[in-house]
Amino acid sequence: MASDYQRITFWDHRGDNYYALPEGLNIDDIWVPDDEGNDTDELRDGVIDLETNDLDEAQRKLALMFHDDEWRSVPTLQYGFVYGWGSREWLVVTDDEADDLWDEDLENFIDECVLHELPERYQCYFDREKFKNDCKIDGRAHSLGRYDGSEWEEGVDGITFYIYRLW
């Protein structure tokens, strides 16, 4: 599917939304004309209304849609970088965002699980950085891809997004 779409285009006349256009379709031709040749509110086949006026959100939605060729709707932003899509939730982030979230996740794990179980008098001997480096051997998907531990990548407009299924 990704190769069939050339770009995300902003159309400010109707709804101020971003649209993904099939290869070869001009932005002036996304609306189905009526009998008199005037544009209607109906989109031509293949045009995707990404239901947002935020370019970053539009790119993340399209990356997630590229990940699954069987999509039937547009993902919905739930919170942060998490998108709901059908009965599933997905994390869609850049490389730097994924690294930051991974580090935050490991810090939370140390605070809530590891140190919580370690007697206080021994906590000063615990080396957070060594522990995190050992955890990183498994890769980001082990921490961020809560559903199955998988990481996928998709490119949109020259930006690589990393996708993790949360549930």
Q: Return the sign of the alpha-carbon dihedral for residues 111, 78, 75, 89.
A: positive
Dihedrals phi, psi of 47, to nearest 5 degrees = -80, 130
Tell me, what's the pLDDT at 164?
97
Which residue ranges make up each domain of the chain? 2-97+140-165, 98-138
| Residue 91: strand pairing partners | 82, 164
**Pairing verdict, β 17-22 and 5-11:** antiparallel
Of 31-45, 57-71, 111-125, highest mean pLDDT: 111-125
pLDDT at 130 over 80: yes
On whether the CB atoms of residues 80 and 166 are closer than 8 A, the answer is: no
pLDDT attached to residue 15:
54
3-state secondary structure string, 47-109? CEECCCCCHHHHHHHHHHHHHCCCCCCCCEEEECCEEEECCEEEEEECHHHHHHHHHHHHHHH
Q: What is the pLDDT of residues 89-123, one digit of tens each?
A: 999 999 999 999 999 999 999 999 999 999 999 99
Q: What pTM did the predictor assign?
A: 0.80
